[in-house]
Amino acid sequence: MFVPERVWWKPLSRPEKSWLIIALVWCLFLTAMMPLWFVLGRQNVPAETYTVTPQQYREIVDAFTAQYQVDTLNGVPVVEPPAGSDVYLLARQWQWYPILKLKKGTPYRLHISSTDVQHGFSLQPVNLNLQVLPGYDYVAKITPTQAGDYSIVCNEFCAIGHHLMASKLIVTD
Amino acid sequence: MAVATLPRSQAKAEFRTCPVTFLKVDLAAERLIIANAVAAVVFLLIGGLYALLIALTRWQAVHLLNATWFYRLLTAHGFNMLVAWMVFFEVAGLYFGSAIMLNARMVKPRLAWLGFILMAVGAVMFNVIVLMGKGDVMFTAYVPLKAHPLFYLGFILFAVGALIGVGLFFANLVMAKREKTYEGSVPLVTFGLATAAILAVYTLVAGALALVPALLWSLNIIPSVDPTYYRNMFWAFGHPAQQVNLAAMVSIWYMLASFTVGATPLNEKFSRLAFVLYILFINLGSAHHLLVDPGPGFAWKATNTSYAMYLAVLGSLIHAFSIPAAIEVAQRRKGFTKGAFDWLRKGPWREPGFSSLVISMVLFGWVGGVTGVVIGTEQINMLAHNTLRLPGHFHATVVSGTTLAFMGATYYLIPLIFRRELRLKKWASWQPYVFGSGMLLVSIGMIAAGLQGVPRRHWDITFAGSPFSISIPAAAQISLALFGVGALIAITGGIMYLTVVLVSVFGGKRREAHRLTLVMSDANPLVEYALPNKDKEAEGKLAPQGAFILVLAFLIFMATYYLTNWWLLGRTWLIR
């Protein structure tokens, strides 16, 4: 509380020294974990990004949808692209477009972008989450590990209809 | 202790001498402290009312508000709590820590009033424009979601006002040094507040870099603002702003420890080193919000998110030991030397300053700190980004930690600054427990829901109006109910706090406090026990072994939660 004596040269006591060393070692461990996982881990944050205008992205997605559409669900086209190809997902108020049908155990290059405001890609119940920005094409190399019906919800506030923005992602065996 | 002589240049300022601390109190500084503290409490009241309505909406079984009002009040809640309540209280704290604790005068009180008015006008403008429905964009206002220009202007005016307050704090320090109103080093609390103030300058400048372009864009003067630029700058404001709160809170922890048990830091160097680590590294935290954004690569994200090498975390780990250890040594000096934890059992648990200190530290560290480090890990963030785990984390830090510490401090500042007797002392004694237990449930409920994938800032996770059925586990409803019940308990604690403050300030007997006494007894630990620690004292029978066991237990808990999250990540889809 009050003005202390000048005690800057006073050495640390034993418990303080021990704790400082333990804490420092723990911090170094935390620091090492991220690069270690980056090299060895199989789940890493995608970094591949391209700039794209909303107009360009819409055209790409429309062409992609026209080429591989197999079905329609609740008015949204269902698209089954070839295994291992580039697949596209478009976020807009308040819809994910189109619905993707993927194969289990196959890697895809998943492109995500928005044509209006910011959105949040949240794959449930896998619970994988990525930010979606207009003007940026974010490429995630993903491999579904289990077949089933998954949900995509928006988890970035995107104006009043935000809670209606949900869709499906289908993974087949 | 400082000498109470009056340099010539201070002839203009009016002082009273505090009969408790023998410090000279500049009346202009005192009036400013009172105004800022009152404004803080007013915005806490408004933000708390919004909190009640929001919580009763997210508690899915109650679901009170409609979507529009939910998002609207959530926007205002964020600003009132994270910005208005915190910063008003901090400005009060800065004037107290400079002018009053250094026995000095308030430099340019008129300018300080201008800063206060700008902050008040900005905060009111923000609230009005949001309630009018012209800014349903959340507190973060991510471009290109557009709000009315006055939304951004309110934000900016507030920031400019706060910057004036921070500038005057530095001016006070310089003036005190020049006029030799104190001897030796500045007290640790002032040192901590100086840390907060240095961080605040960076924070507020970054805020301007985000919000001024957004304002110009909203006025159609510039065509667009890049969303990645905005997010980076907004969070260079938003995240470090919480580190300002952190530094202020830690300062108050030291203050409460000395008020309630007479604790003094074992080693000033140790505690100050921790604050220096904050100054150097904590501003990198902006990256926490950009970990799964398109754009930056691994190296940028990993370096920034870890504060270089978790060196700011190291600062917090230092405080996590040095404060309990200081309390333990002070208690042992009183004779509570049996076993490892007698000192803790015999603590003044009915004293609100002590209980709020302990609860604030436990919830901040064990819940807020641990979850913060985990979700701030680059890869693990993919499991957490924009889920309820995030609000779960910062409700443990800012609300359970900082807000409770500020509340605890108020009970001692009312007799000193407002010179009113504290009323409803029993309420004050219970209040930290009620508020703390409620906030614990709030945080845990949110974190559990987030782990199950529940998004933050979301009106309806049943997606009733959506054409698709959504696979969020039903158990998430239980977590949200836990959160809702916790919110009601915490708000009860908040009402208790506001009642004690209002009844004391407006109905307390006006009297000059003659000694700093505790709320629940007449003891005065500050004077009776607060002795500078002698060399080697912390190694003999006063050694803080209990505190050491506590921090080791904390470390084990943190490691368990951390490694569990890596394991969860390893089980999910492959992604690169």
In a domain, residue A165? The reply is yes
Q: Domain range for residue A79?
A: 47-172
Q: Estimate the crossing angle of helix B298-305 against helix A14-40, to 10 degrees.
A: 160
Do A133 and A63 reside in the same domain of the chain?
yes
CB contact under 8 A, B187 and A1: yes
- Please report, for the domain that includes residue A64, its CATH number: 2.60.40.420
Contact call for B267 and A16, based on CB within 8 A:
yes
Give the best residue of B70, B259, B268, B382 to mutate against chain A (max A CB count within 10 A): B382
Domain boundary among A43, A61, A81: A43
Q: Given A2, A153, A163, which is nearest B187 (Cβ)?
A: A2
Asked whether the beta carbons of A37 and B306 are under 8 A apart, the reply is: no
- Planar angle of CA B126, B131, B133, nearest 5 degrees: 105
Record: contact A151-B306, CB cut-off 8 A:
no
The mean per-residue pLDDT over the stretch B183-207 comes to 88
B43 alpha carbon, distance to own chain's centre: 15
* B chain contacts of residue A157, beta-carbon cutoff 8 Å: 71, 137-138, 142, 145, 457
* Rounded mean pLDDT, A119-136: 96
Enumerate the β-bridge partners of residue B522.
none
pLDDT at A85 (0 to 100): 96
Cβ–Cβ gap B297/A154 under 8 Å: no
Q: Is the pLDDT of residue A98 over 90?
A: yes
Spatial distance between the Cα atoms of B306 and B373, rounded to a whole number of angstroms: 8
Dist CA B573 CA A127 (whole Å): 10
pLDDT higher than threshold 50 for residue B1: no
In this structure, is residue A131 part of a structural domain?
yes
pLDDT digits (tens, 9 = 90+) for B60-82: 889 999 999 999 999 999 999 99
Same domain, A92 and A122: yes
Tell me: do A135 and A74 sit in the same domain: yes
Domains of chain B, earliest start first:
14-183 (1.20.120), 384-462+470-517 (no CATH)
The answer on A108 and A91 residing in a single domain is: yes
Interface test with B, best of A106, A131, A138 (most B CBs within 10 A): A131
Q: Which H or E run contains B197? A: helix B188-218
Q: What is the least distance, in Å, from the CA of A67 to any CA of chain B?
A: 24
Q: How far apart are alpha carbons B510 and B548 in whole angstroms?
A: 44
Computed from CA positions of residues B504, B505, B508, B513, in that sequence, does the dihedral angle turn out positive or negative? positive
A34 and A89 together in one domain = no
Indicate whether A164 belongs to any domain.
yes
Burial of B220 from C-beta contacts in 10 A (0-12 / 13-18 / 19+)? exposed
Query: Which value does ipTM take for this structure?
Result: 0.95
**Within a domain: A111:** yes
Residues A132 and A94 in one domain: yes
What's at A145, amino acid-wise? T
Residue B420 CB coordination number (10 Å):
19
Query: Which residues of chain A make contact with B188, given a CB cutoff of 8 A?
Result: 1, 4
Tokens encoding A78: 């269902």
**Cβ-based neighbour number of residue B65 at 10 Å:** 18
Shared-domain flag, residues A36 and A79: no
Q: pLDDT grade, residue A5 (50/70/90)?
A: low
Please write down the long-range contacts of B296-301, taking CB distance under 8 Å and 24 or more positions apart. Answer: B296/A47, B297/A47, B298/A38, B298/A44, B298/A45, B298/A47, B298/B378, B301/A45, B301/B378
- pTM comes to 0.93
Q: What is the pLDDT of residues B208-225, one digit of tens each?
A: 999 999 999 999 999 999
Question: For B440-472, how does the pLDDT look when each residue is reduced to its tens digit (9 = 90+)?
Answer: 999 999 999 999 999 999 999 888 888 888 877
> Percent of chain B beyond pLDDT 90?
69
Which of A124, A142, A158 lies at the smallest CB-CB distance from B470?
Answer: A124
Residue B507 has pLDDT above 50, yes or no: yes
Q: What percent of chain A has pLDDT over 70?
A: 95
In a domain, A107, yes or no: yes
Residue A24 shares a structural domain with residue A75: no
Based on the fold, state whether residues A38 and A104 are members of the same structural domain. Answer: no
Reduced to 3 states, what is the DSSP secondary structure of residue A79?
Answer: strand
What does the pLDDT look like over B287-327, one tens digit per residue?
Answer: 899 999 999 999 999 999 988 788 889 999 999 999 999 99
Residues A69 and A33 in one domain: no
Task: Please check whether residues A17 and A96 belong to one and the same domain.
Answer: no
How many independent structural domains does chain A possess? 2
What digits encode the pLDDT tens for the residues B337-383?
999 999 999 999 999 999 999 999 999 999 999 999 999 999 999 99
Least Cα separation, residue B448 to chain A (angstroms): 13
CB B55 within 8 A of CB B488: yes
The answer to whether residue A38 is domain-embedded is yes
Residue A5 falls inside a structural domain: no
In this structure, the answer to whether residues A165 and A124 fall within a common structural domain is yes
CA-closest candidate to residue A158, choices A110, A120, A106, A124: A120
Residues 6+ apart with CB under 8 A from B174: none
> Is A70 within a domain?
yes
Q: What is the number of other CB atoms lying within 10 angstroms of the CB of residue A90? A: 23
Which of B75, B385, B528, B554 has the highest number of chain A CBs within 10 A, making it the mutation to test binding with A? B385
Phi, psi for residue A119 in degrees, rounded to 5: -135, 170
